[in-house]
Structure 1
Amino acid sequence: MYRITKIPAYTLLCSLLLTSLAVAEPMWVSDRFEVMLRTGPSTSNAIQLMVDSGTQLEVIERDAASGYSRVRTSGGTEGWVLTRYLMSEPAAREQLQQLTGQLTDAKSAGSGLSEQLNAIRGQHQAANQRIETLEREKQALQSELDTIKRTAADVLAIDSQNQRLQEKLTDTEIRADTLQQENQNLRSQQNRNWFLTGAAVLIAGIILGIWLPRVRWQRRSRYDRL
């Protein structure tokens, strides 16, 4: 005889839950119908609600014999719908809406990128204008610097020339002072010479004045003796 092993109720319940979770998959209601969500897998079961086409449902289990699938709505309501009214992907209308939304997002992103690109172009253009302005300022400053250098060179040349002229003037003044001193010395010497000459002439005159009368007197005395 076969031994019948009793399985605890909680173990059986867990197995059923795991089986239900294992087969759960998303499905969408056909876009051609409104599907009736029933309390059981037959037309004799009561209708709980009408599910619009394109609604996403979660398939919990399938009953191939009845052609029904047990599903769960996003609101948590469970029931049975005909399996042939379920699709493995969203309805074309839903896909079109998603694609339209993605296209709109892409256009928005493209518009944002275009605005960013225009902003970057504006910044690039402003940077180029700033660079051109700085180049013009650089050329103007370079020209001014060249002028200052030429002026400074001229000033240095003038200063050097003035220094040479000042040295020449100093030498000339020294020579003039020397010549003046020599001239004064010559004048002093000339005056001394004139003074000595005059004194000599005066002395000679005095001597002659004294000597000539004596010579004359001696001659007369000789004549008188004769």
Structure 2
Amino acid sequence: MSKTTKISMFKAGLIGSALMASLLSAPSFAQQTRWISDVLYVPMRKGPSNQHTILHRGLKSGTRLSIIEAQENWSQVRLADGSTGWIPNQYLLEEPIAALKLEDAAQKAQRSSNRYQEAADKLKQLSAENESLKKQLSNSEQGSSALSSELNQIKQISANAIDLNNNYQQLAKDHQLLQTELDVARAENERLKKEDSQTWFVYGAGAVLLGVIITLIVPAIRPRRRRSEWG
């Protein structure tokens, strides 16, 4: 019996066993539809033939293996626990089985769903923050408008204060000028008073002197009576 025939018989036995188990477990009515599971258990042998000792009686389909050496019909593999052995190449696939792909797709879909939910929650949070920032911006704009109004008032007050200061400076200059003119007028008045006093003094002195002169001159020029007239 050839190796290929033995392998075919082994596969047929496995399929038959699975079919028998399915039939035995099925209910008595035959109108329900069932499918045979694609789960397969592959033995791992010590060497690259069916005559070698079986090291592992059932490697479940979908088990991940590492290829150590590949021959025409057999490959030496290493399991996750480090054990090694030989398995027929017909049971080795370059891609995971459909069940694993489906499970992987389901996990990816779940991760995508989780990321979508996280993104939705983040979007909701950002929307709430955006609304809060809009309110803060509105309040800031109102506050800015009020500050701008106060600033304009302060500028107006400052302009008025500058005008008042300029007016004060001008008034101070005018006051100083008037004070100077007043001092000059007072000095001139004092000078005139002194001159007037001196003039009246001169006039008085002249009048006194004139009186003295008259007193001295008048008796001298009065005609004397003759003595005969007196006798």
Q: Please name the residue that 2:13 is paired with.
A: none
The AA in structure 2 aligned to 1:206 is: V
1:200 to 190, 202, 206: 206
Structure 1 residue 51: Cα displacement: 3.4
CA distance in 2, matches of 1:204, 1:187: 25
The AA in structure 2 aligned to 1:76 is: T
CA distance in 1, matches of 2:208, 2:194: 20
CA deviation digits over 1:71-128, x for unaligned, max 9?
74634222448x4x77664333222111111112223343454555566666766766
Gap change, CA 1:203 and 1:115, over 3 Å in 2: same
Runs of 5+ in structure 2 lacking a partner?
1-35
Q: Please name the residue that 2:84 is paired with.
A: 76
CA deviation digits over 1:4-28, x for unaligned, max 9?
xxxxxxxxxxxxxxxxxxxxxxxxx
CA distance in 1, matches of 2:131, 2:228: 142
The AA in structure 1 aligned to 2:58 is: M
Gap change, CA 1:100 and 1:196, over 3 Å in 2: same
Runs of 5+ in structure 1 lacking a partner?
1-29, 64-68
Gap change, CA 1:151 and 1:70, over 3 Å in 2: closer
The AA in structure 1 aligned to 2:57 is: L
RMSD over aligned Cα atoms: 4.1
Structure 1 residue 51 corresponds to structure 2 residue 59: yes
Q: Please name the residue that 2:27 is paired with.
A: none
Q: Secondary structure at the match of 1:77?
A: strand
The AA in structure 1 aligned to 2:207 is: V
Q: Please name the residue that 1:167 is paired with.
A: 173
8 Å CA contact retained: 1:37, 1:80: no
Gap change, CA 1:190 and 1:105, over 3 Å in 2: same
CA distance in 2, matches of 1:204, 1:173: 45
8 Å CA contact retained: 2:44, 2:58: no
Structure 1 residue 214 corresponds to structure 2 residue 211: no
Gap change, CA 1:167 and 1:79, over 3 Å in 2: closer
TM-score normalised over the length of structure 1:
0.58
Task: Report which structure shows greater RCO (CA 8 Å, sep ≥6).
Answer: 1
The AA in structure 2 aligned to 1:102 is: K
Q: Secondary structure at the match of 1:217?
A: coil
User: Percent identical across equivalent pairs?
Assistant: 19
Q: Secondary structure at the match of 2:84?
A: coil
Q: Please name the residue that 2:193 is paired with.
A: 187
Structure 1 residue 199: Cα displacement: 1.7
Q: Tell me the matched-pair count.
A: 185
8 Å CA contact retained: 1:57, 1:73: yes
Structure 1 residue 151 corresponds to structure 2 residue 126: no
Gap change, CA 1:222 and 1:99, over 3 Å in 2: farther
